[in-house]
Amino acid sequence: MTDLPYPSSAPTAFDHAIGEAYNEAESRRIIGMVAATVAQLADWPKEKAFSVPYPPLAQYVLDRIALIGVLRHPGGYHLTPYRDRLSCPRTLADLMALCWSSPIDAWPFLNLPDDEDLTGLLVELDPIRPSELCLRLSLEFTHPDAADRSLERLALLDARALYEEAGHPGGFPKLREWLIAHPVLSSQEIAFLKLERIGGFQVTDELIDILYLRVHERYFSSADEIAVCGHCGLVLVPINGGSGERWQCETTKCRGRRNVLIGDVRHVAENLHHAARPIREFVIAGPRLRASEGSNRQASSPLRDVEC
Ligand SMILES: [Zn+2]
């Protein structure tokens, strides 16, 4: 580990560029930044250009990792060659490749703390998406003062704050119920929603922006349709550019990962929105999967009777 000699006076621009001393805590912060960057890129709006310079968080974390590559070695902080087989990513593409190819506990340029469950990939494939680990680390990085809360509470922290500021904290469970029932909305349904109160809270643009994002074109088939998973109710991903014939569910714990069941099909012309990724993964998917499992069991019980 390398500690940088910090002056006791106020930090200069140079101090800010160098960043915190490199240690376990800083490694933990860096992996949180990488996770938040992955989550940000995964839902980058199609209408927003993505080019150099990178978004500030992505650029900052790349700079920090580059600095680690220079600084990290036993016994000092003067320049030394990279450690054997150390692959320190130098570009955003390098970093993303590392996210899907190497578990974070194997990243040789970090010293992650041992007392936390910090193992696994940040990006999973088939379909490519941020892993549950990535979403957890991203939420914990975004809400460092609430990192001990459950993932469901973390995913809804900003929405809950709006309810508390407006004096309706008791109405918040109604919003959770409402979200579980409405993972996908058209722009028309959103317009109607803004005329409503949920749990006493008048729905605002700010609340909608926290809860929902536009469905990216990666979810549309070549027929400009989306299909909703018959198990978890979330939007499926078309395979191989979207022939509309094969789909995958990207919800980590969904039975649709192995056994795709197509539910409702909706058209791009509806200007569709779906719940933000951490909300659909940590708030919506669980209750809907339990409910669909229960209804499947009920529906299949007559068959089981016949079999017996
Ligand atoms: Zn599903």
Give all strands (DSSP E) within 147-292, no chain letters.
184-186, 197-198, 201-202, 212-214, 225-229, 237-238, 247-248, 262-267, 272-275
pLDDT at 299: 56
Q: How far is the CA of 206 from the centre of ligand 1 (A)?
A: 28
Total domains in the chain come to 2
Query: Taking Cα atoms as reference points, which of 196, 182, 189, 214 lies closest to residue 284?
Result: 182
Q: How far is the CA of 231 from the centre of ligand 1 (A)?
A: 5
Which residues are found with C-beta within 5 Å of the ion, ligand 1?
229, 231-232, 249, 251, 254, 256
Q: How far is the CA of 308 from the centre of ligand 1 (A)?
A: 30
Residues 6+ apart with CB under 8 A from 110: 27, 30, 31, 68, 104
Judgement on whether residues 184 and 290 belong to the same structural domain of the protein: yes
Residues 6+ apart with CB under 8 A from 38: 96, 99, 122, 123, 130, 134, 138
Backbone angles phi, psi at 141, to 5 degrees: -70, -40
Per-residue burial over 280-300, b = 16 or more CB atoms within 10 Å of its CB, e = otherwise = bbbbbbbbbbeebeeeeeeee
Here the tokens at position 71 are 């600084």
Structural domain boundaries enclosing 233 = 153-297
Q: How far is the CA of 11 from the centre of ligand 1 (A)?
A: 49
* Residue after which a domain boundary falls, among 93, 124, 148: 148
pLDDT per position in the chain (308 positions), as tens?
Answer: 445 555 556 767 776 666 666 788 889 999 999 999 999 999 988 778 888 888 899 998 988 887 776 665 444 334 344 444 446 788 899 899 999 999 999 887 888 998 888 999 999 998 999 999 999 999 999 999 987 889 999 999 999 999 999 999 999 999 999 999 999 999 999 999 999 999 999 999 999 999 999 999 999 998 899 999 999 999 999 987 545 468 999 998 899 888 899 999 999 999 999 999 999 999 999 999 999 887 776 655 433 333 32
Q: How far is the CA of 199 from the centre of ligand 1 (A)?
A: 28
Residue 236 to residue 216: CA distance in whole angstroms: 12
Q: How far is the CA of 275 from the centre of ligand 1 (A)?
A: 14
Judgement on whether residues 26 and 66 belong to the same structural domain of the protein: yes
User: 13: how many CB neighbours lie within 10 A of its CB?
Assistant: 7
Q: How far is the CA of 63 from the centre of ligand 1 (A)?
A: 37
Q: 289 in helix, strand or coil?
A: helix
Q: How far is the CA of 280 from the centre of ligand 1 (A)?
A: 10
Judgement on whether residues 130 and 198 belong to the same structural domain of the protein: no
pLDDT at 140: 95
Q: Is 305 inside a domain boundary?
A: no
pLDDT at 305: 34
Q: Is 46 inside a domain boundary?
A: yes
pLDDT at 81: 44
Judgement on whether residues 141 and 160 belong to the same structural domain of the protein: no
* Residue after which a domain boundary falls, among 148, 165, 184: 148
